[in-house]
Amino acid sequence: MAYLSKVSNYKDLGLLVGRISLGGMMMFHGIPKLLGGISTWQKVGGVMHNFGITFLPAFWGFMASFSEGIGGLLIVLGLLFRPTAILIMLTLIVAVTNHFSSGDGWMGASHAIETGLAFFLLLFVGPGKYSVDKK
């Protein structure tokens, strides 16, 4: 039992490392899209046609880029953590759908699926005590 109490002392440190890693990778994917401007946003947002949404592709692309880039930063900080995790999960659902509709199959969609599941897990666990939300 003493071992379990020592291990649980590292839970918040593990959440911090996980937040920095996952949030950093989301920033790595999202910031170039954000900086790409309207032509990039239209391309990214164009995948919404998989859901029958064909209007305002630049808006949808900006929202996806924002949720990845700025959302990644918020995840790193642990600020507005759960709403941000939901936005990122929604973005990843669109990415998974696009991979499947493009014929990429499970192998092509696996990264988005795995990342989405990690954010799903974090949604329930929370940001941990080393976060802005906990201060």
Residue 131 is encoded by which pair of tokens? Answer: 């976060």
HEC sequence for 87-124 = HHHHHHHHHHHHHHHCCCHHHHHHHHHHHHHHHHHHHH
**pLDDT tens digit sequence for 102-111:** 999 999 999 9
**pLDDT tens digit sequence for 49-98:** 999 999 999 999 999 999 999 999 999 999 999 999 999 999 999 999 99
Q: Please tell me which residue, 87 or 5, carries the higher pLDDT value.
A: 87
Report the pLDDT value the prediction gives residue 26, as an integer from 0 to 100: 97
Instruction: Give the closest residue to 86 by CA, choosing from 51, 46, 124.
Output: 124
What is d(CA 92, CA 72) in angstroms, rounded to the nearest whole number?
13
**pLDDT tens digit sequence for 38-47:** 999 999 999 9
What's the DSSP call for residue 36? T
% helix, strand, coil for the chain, step of 5: 80, 0, 20
Q: What are phi and psi of 8, to 5 degrees?
A: -65, -20
Cβ(131)–Cβ(11) below 8 Å? no
Cβ(43)–Cβ(74) below 8 Å? no
pLDDT of 4 over the 90 cut: no
**pLDDT tens digit sequence for 13-37:** 999 999 999 999 999 999 999 999 9
Mean pLDDT over 100-123 rounds to 96
What is d(CA 91, CA 71) in angstroms, rounded to the nearest whole number?
11
Is residue 94 classed as helix, strand or coil in its secondary structure?
Answer: helix
pLDDT of 127 over the 80 cut: yes
| pTM of the predicted model as reported, rounded to 2 decimal places | 0.90
